[in-house]
Structure 1
Amino acid sequence: MGKPVIVGMDSSEASRHALDWAADEANLRTEPLSVRHIWVEETTKTPDGQESPPSREAGEALLDVALARTLRQHPDLEVSIELLDGRLRDAMTEAAHGADLLVLGARGSGGFPGLLAGSTSLFVAARATCPVVVVRPTGTEPGRGGVVAGIRGDHGDAEVLAFAFDFAQRRQLPLLALHAWSYPLITMPGHASPPVFEEAHIGAEQGRLVAEVLAGWRERFPQVDVTESAVRAHPAGELVARSREHQLVVVGRHGEPHGPLGRLGSTSQATVLHAGCPVAVVPT
């Protein structure tokens, strides 16, 4: 038995979707599922103005409901529940060291409905040592497509492709390897010079690079139906657009450890925030 799939649970609808997604994935991986709820001793205001401190009993009850829900759907799955003290983002980041996969619900906040993930999801995805899947409630059936892997077309794509191919094979889904490229900017002393390129020529070269990257993976996963695409587009915009018709988007975590976006990177962050399906962020 390998490392567990760990899911962070609270009382939100997003968490219930994350729980179901994590349970399905753990069942397919034949790995145990660990459901964790982080209890924070902070008082909250009730409608009548009274302060109502949360109780450990409420957290225990939530976990009991989660356990019963999961075992109804997967009676043979090994499931454990755990109530912890602290902050969710810190506890889940620490849990990554002993997990095969972390799963979180996407909870937009701050009054911006277009942002589909909250700060906790971004924090954990930027720092966890294992892949993190951010799940959001869609209210609709999953897209009819399969898996989209956002790749850069170089040797830094190994972890992303390994996760995407493995997921696609396990769920018998097709895989789209997507590389979005743009023209390089040639700079000259004192100003930037707009270059002149032949789009067809550069597009063909980018497509050749993607084909080379995928060659070995096709041999390793012959059962997976793979399509490759090299398009001139903004990477995050293209991935978000594709997410509306697919079941999972897989991106790499290419950001700088001390940069403004932590370790997540601009493309990964934008995809997590705006995608219409679950997003897997894979450390690279």
Structure 2
Amino acid sequence: MTGRGRTVLAGIDGSDGSAEAVRWAAGLAAGRGLELELLHCLRVASLYYGGGLAGSEALFRNIQREGDRIVAEARGLALEVDPAVRVRTEVCHDPAAAALIDRSRGTRMAVLGRTGLGGFAGMLVGGTTATVASHAYCPVTVVRGRHGDGAVPQEGPVVVGVDGSPNSEAAIAAAFEEASFRRAPLVAVHAWADVTYDSTEGMARLLPQWEVLQPDEERLLAERLAGWQEKYPDVPVERKLVRDRPRHILLDESARARLVVVGSRGRGGFTGMLLGSTSQALIQHAWCPVLVVRPER
């Protein structure tokens, strides 16, 4: 993990996805001797009617009690994972995205669930998940499970997307660290035919160029991995060079992976776009947890 703090931050809201995120974050914190912080943000904005009129004091108290219950249950889930894990809890009144981003300063990693009750990761890109992944000061993991039963995989390789961008370099560093920590093999995917073609005729005209470009793309992938393979000799590495769009192959690979690691924005992203199309697609549709890494500010 590229974050330098001693805390794993988990956003909780009482949903099933939130519970999976707590378990995943607790395992991470316990395994690395880190503190786990559980943060629940009360949805007090829903108590205000049109014109700024507030709900009754009794409603505020009920929401506060519900928040305390959610936090207590989440703490219990974390201690089930490891009774020795250090857990700190907080209930706040701030909007979820703003609170998580603020507390990500000095945090090793922020963790969100795959679904929510409106407060955290159940929202599509453009909501809380995308906002936190785009602006957090630390890596962000969205804990997703296999489609259908929602079970979060514990087996399989760590998969990382490689494209030569600064974001990709940070992702490679995090992926090797995660693979070493989990004693898992690493699959490094470099998808270099990331162009949309309008017709098969247009594609046919470009086929010879693929053969010309392939040696350079193979060299790029080897160079990006070389130093990290020396630093982590315990991590078996499989290189995968594919002629496909990055999000397509990474979504396919997520079906057999335990974790997919990507940079927040690749070399094809528009200037100013903080979360690229590949990371957006993965946090919505991947079949395993997704770790989004941004270069340290």
TM bin (shorter chain): 0.7 to 0.9
Contact 2:8/2:110 (CA < 8 Å) preserved in 1?
yes
SS in structure 1 of the partner of residue 37 of structure 2: strand
Aligned pairs for 1:18-167 within 5 A: 18-41=21-44, 42-43=46-47, 53=59, 54-107=62-115, 119-138=127-146, 139=149, 140=151, 142=153, 144-153=155-164, 156-167=167-178
Q: Equivalent of 1:175, from 182, 186, 192?
A: 186
> Alignment RMSD, CA only?
3.0
TM-score by length of 1: 0.85
Q: 1:236 to 1:176 in 2, by over 3 A?
A: same
- Once the two structures are TM-superposed, the CA of residue 109 in structure 1 deviates from its matched residue by 9.2
Contact 2:10/2:110 (CA < 8 Å) preserved in 1?
yes
- Any idea what the Cα deviations from partners look like across 1:142-175, whole Å, max 9, x if unmatched? 2742100001035653211111000100110000
Amino acid at match of 1:6: L
Q: Equivalent of 1:272, from 280, 283, 295?
A: 283
- Once the two structures are TM-superposed, the CA of residue 87 in structure 1 deviates from its matched residue by 1.0
CA distance in structure 2 between the partners assigned to 1:155 and 1:37 by the alignment: 33
- Once the two structures are TM-superposed, the CA of residue 136 in structure 1 deviates from its matched residue by 2.3
More displaced stretch, 142-151 vs 27-36:
142-151
Aligned counterpart, 1:232:
243
More displaced stretch, 200-209 vs 272-281:
200-209
Identity of aligned residues (%): 36
Contact 1:125/1:264 (CA < 8 Å) preserved in 2?
yes
Q: 1:122 to 1:131 in 2, by over 3 A?
A: same
Amino acid at match of 2:10: V
Name the one with the larger strand percent.
1
Q: Equivalent of 2:214, from 198, 203, 213?
A: 203
Aligned counterpart, 2:202:
none
CA distance in structure 1 between the partners assigned to 2:138 and 2:86 by the alignment: 21
CA distance in structure 1 between the partners assigned to 2:224 and 2:15 by the alignment: 40
Name the one with the larger helix percent.
2
- Any idea what the Cα deviations from partners look like across 1:112-132, whole Å, max 9, x if unmatched? xx9977821111101111100
Instruction: Return 5+ residue gaps in structure 1 as ranges.
Output: 45-50, 186-193
- Once the two structures are TM-superposed, the CA of residue 199 in structure 1 deviates from its matched residue by 2.9
SS in structure 2 of the partner of residue 197 of structure 1: helix
More displaced stretch, 210-219 vs 194-203:
194-203
Q: 1:200 to 1:253 in 2, by over 3 A?
A: same
Amino acid at match of 1:63: V
Contact 2:194/2:245 (CA < 8 Å) preserved in 1?
no
Contact 1:109/1:118 (CA < 8 Å) preserved in 2?
no
Q: 1:246 to 1:118 in 2, by over 3 A?
A: farther
- Any idea what the Cα deviations from partners look like across 1:221-252, whole Å, max 9, x if unmatched? 00011111111101011111110110110000
- Once the two structures are TM-superposed, the CA of residue 219 in structure 1 deviates from its matched residue by 0.3
Contact 2:133/2:140 (CA < 8 Å) preserved in 1?
yes
Contact 1:26/1:32 (CA < 8 Å) preserved in 2?
yes
